[in-house]
Amino acid sequence: MLSYILRRIVATLPVMAIVALFVFSLLYIAPGDPAVVIAGDQASPEDVERIRQSLGLDRPFLVQFGSWVWRILHGDLGTSIFTNLPVSAMIGQRLGPTLSLMIVTLLLTVVVAVPLGVVAAWKAGSLIDRVIMGFAVFGFSLPVFVVGYMLAYIFALELEWLPVQGYTPLSSGFWPWLENLILPAVALGCVYIALVARITRAAMLEVLQQDYIRTAKAKGLGQGGILFIHALKNAAVPIVTVIGIGIALLIGGAVVTESVFAIPGLGRLTIDAILRRDYPVIQGIVLLFSFVYVLVNLMIDVVYTLVDPRIRY
């Protein structure tokens, strides 16, 4: 098992190298010249060239890439063009709200989607199954921003049960922190819940047809024990996989959700950086999101070795 995990870790290194090359290439793929953006519309060609030299944009591509990777390995993500602050410091300031939103959404998804999928498989073909799957199709079809605006209008503006926007740090209290995250987490989690519920149902249906499930029923084991102890445990591999892959949905959806609910997280920082063409900030955030996604997939592979006894090589 240890050798398998080590091989998976080594296999992620080329992936991160390709990701780093793509992230750095954003500077050249995106339209516009960073030096022109910094200098402004009234700058002379000499001023633009001077800025280009100070940023190292006049050097060969591979030299720039090597220098950038060297700084990344030393924890230097660069400096923002507009705020003149270190990108790592800006990300650190915005990491808390985004991390809080993703954690609450992930917990909400697991608590809601897995039981829904189990019940749908248990009542396969019944009205309950059709209602749950209908909700899954409906939730998967709605864009995040549409759900966000609907929730904000109903629960914040009309009923005035929850705040419509903003973020309160956990240090200010658990309920004020959670209160600001309920609507964004539900909006962001709708697609995720629908996806996990459908996969859970499919995995459970396959497991419930196995001989050992029929044997457990014949021995008089309760329905809850059969579903949540025997069946769910053996159906865990595809469920864990889709939960891990769904982290990408959370990362992408967080950008839209934070904009709808005015949460000062990495999503808002990403949009602001794109609008201002602040390339160092864009590169730092994309590199961070890519690293998190690769790390999550690596963790899924490690979980495989724990839940699937066939992986021991």
C-alpha span between 45 and 38 (Å, rounded): 13
What values do phi and psi take at 86, rounded to 5? -60, 135
Q: Which residues contact 137 (CB under 8 A, 6 or more apart)?
A: 194
C-alpha span between 152 and 154 (Å, rounded): 6
CA Rg, the chain, in Å?
24
C-alpha span between 206 and 77 (Å, rounded): 47
Written as tens digits, the pLDDT of the chain (313 aa) is: 677 677 777 877 888 888 888 888 876 776 666 677 666 666 777 777 777 776 677 778 788 888 888 888 888 888 887 788 888 899 988 888 988 998 999 899 889 998 898 888 888 888 988 998 888 888 878 888 888 888 888 888 888 888 888 888 888 889 889 988 899 999 888 888 888 998 888 888 888 777 777 777 776 777 777 777 777 777 777 888 788 777 777 877 888 888 888 888 888 888 888 887 788 888 888 888 888 888 877 777 776 666 555 555 4
Question: How is 6-29 classified by DSSP, letter by letter?
Answer: HHHHHHHHHHHHHHHHHHHHHHHH
If phi over 0 gives left and psi between -120 and 50 gives alpha, with beta otherwise, what is residue 222? beta
pTM of the predicted structure, to 2 decimals: 0.80
Token output for 103 = 């954690």
C-alpha span between 292 and 102 (Å, rounded): 12
Question: How is 90-139 classified by DSSP, letter by letter?
Answer: HHHHHHHHHHHHHHHHHHHHHHHHHHHHHHHHHTTTSHHHHHHHHHHHHH
If phi over 0 gives left and psi between -120 and 50 gives alpha, with beta otherwise, what is residue 191? alpha
Token output for 170 = 């956990």
The pLDDT assigned to 80 comes to 84
Quickly tell me which residue has 């910094």 as its tokens. 38
